[in-house]
Structure 1
Amino acid sequence: MPNLQFYLGQRASSPDGFYIEDFHNNWYGDYSKLERVHSYIQWLFPLQERGMNYQAKELTKKEIEAFLEDETAKKRLVKSYKLMLDFYGIQLSNDTTGEVRRANNWRDRFDNMDRHTHNNLRITRILKCLGTLGFPHYQAPLVRFFLEETLVKGNLYNVNETVLNYFISAVIVQQQRKELVEYAYKLYEVKHQFVVPKKIKSTFREGTFPRNKNPIDLKPDLKQNGIYSDDSDDNTTSHQSVSLC
């Protein structure tokens, strides 16, 4: 169980050779390293799918079950989450509910997200991992935060469409996904241009959306802006690869 062993401090990441405590103690706040290095995110937030680091290992069902029973591993996962939230200019304001808010450095960190769109993939990975390894209640608050920042406050231009089409879809609780889509629709300025995320259209196929006379718009998704960036190159976009870093 390489991912669980990593979180228990029994093995180092590969190929970098860092232990979980190294990341928590030495990488926190080192924004240049967190941006530049692309091989750590698969160890901090493992999934049941392969990412860009082929020396990282996919989660197995047995490993997930063991992780969920281990309080040390789960507490360290929260530390990893806080590490990356700080990198994105966000704070976990409530460890119990998962509520988040802007950090003091949010302007600089938001600018970094807009310039380096591979972070959209990283955040999608983080959301999926939280849902898999015992923190599904952390997913919706983070997605709601991004909806407010993009649709209400007009920030994170290059994250906007990713929130609607990928972040929401990563939320595993169906009712929360539906509520987030309805919330996004309420905030969306041009209602007739709102596109329901294709991965959760089936939630709304029956009747209207959301609980009023406005018909649901089920046209194909608009061309995405930067969300397919390969983690090896911040400035290229590809519709062939959506590997989550």
Structure 2
Amino acid sequence: EFHKTWRGDYYRLERVHSFVQWYLCPDSFINKIPCPQAFLNNETAKLNLQQSYRLMLDFYGIELSNLETGAVGRASNWPERFGNMNWHTHNNLRLTRILKCLGTLGFRHYQAPLVRFFLEETLVQGKLPAVKESVLNYFLFAVLDKAQRRELVRFAFWNYEPREKFIWCPKKIQEVNFHIIRPGYMAFIFST
């Protein structure tokens, strides 16, 4: 029902907040079901999650261009939808939840391409300035594959301006160690 009636209903997708917790947030349901592995072994459930992911990508002006690799690109509706993301920053939290869900529920290979897309759109193209902080402080940390995460950090570093002010570490560490990471110094803190 969700896939049939909500796709393209951008007003509803923007205004109603609870569906993300139910359909795309592992914290809300994956820990409450008796066996999370049951989801991972259920092809229908995985296809439904993939369909929900595509629905949300459309909401953000993005399309899944390769089901196998998770490659994404701008959809035809991107100018309007990017405007919505820049205006409604609560979508950044939704995107973090989506990224975590992908990693938890068998779609780890979708994480890095989506984060790379947002790095490109924020740091290189400058089209999503309201998403930039979330990409650097949250989206990157949702990527479970350490090698992919390292590549994304390198990409962010080489495209961040001004490069000498690039700081990459979890927001919590930045806040706790603010006296160590001083403005004007590059810092690379890689978490395990």
Q: Structure 1 length normalisation: TM-score?
A: 0.69
Q: Is 2:47 the counterpart of 1:75?
A: yes
Gaps of 5+ in 1: 1-21, 51-56, 202-214, 220-245
Pairs within 5 Å for 1:84-163: 84-163=56-135
* Structure 2 residue matching 1:156: 3-state secondary structure: coil
Return the offset for 1:200. 10
1:179-209 deviations in whole A, cap 9, x for unaligned? Answer: 11111001112111001122698xxxxxxxx
Return the offset for 1:59. 2.4
Gaps of 5+ in 2: 174-184
Q: Structure 2 length normalisation: TM-score?
A: 0.87
- For residues 149 and 172 of structure 2, the distance between their equivalents in structure 1, rounded to whole angstroms, comes to 8
Paired residues of 1:99 and 1:141 also in contact (CA < 8 A) = yes
Paired residues of 1:47 and 1:129 also in contact (CA < 8 A) = yes
Per the alignment, residue 23 of structure 1 pairs with: 2
- Structure 1 residues 174, 61: CA separation in 2 closer, same or farther (over 3 Å shift)? farther
- For residues 9 and 169 of structure 2, the distance between their equivalents in structure 1, rounded to whole angstroms, comes to 34
1:54-108 deviations in whole A, cap 9, x for unaligned? Answer: xxx4524743210000000001100000000000000000000000000001000
- For residues 90 and 131 of structure 1, the distance between their equivalents in structure 2, rounded to whole angstroms, comes to 19
* Structure 2 residue matching 1:91: 3-state secondary structure: strand
- Give, as a single letter, the amino acid of the residue that structure 1 aligns with 2:20: I
The match for 1:43 among 22, 25, 32 is 22
Greater Rg over alpha carbons, structure: 1
Hey, which of these two has a bigger chunk of helix by percent?
2
Q: Is 2:187 the counterpart of 1:217?
A: yes
Greater Cα offset, 62-71 or 119-128? 62-71
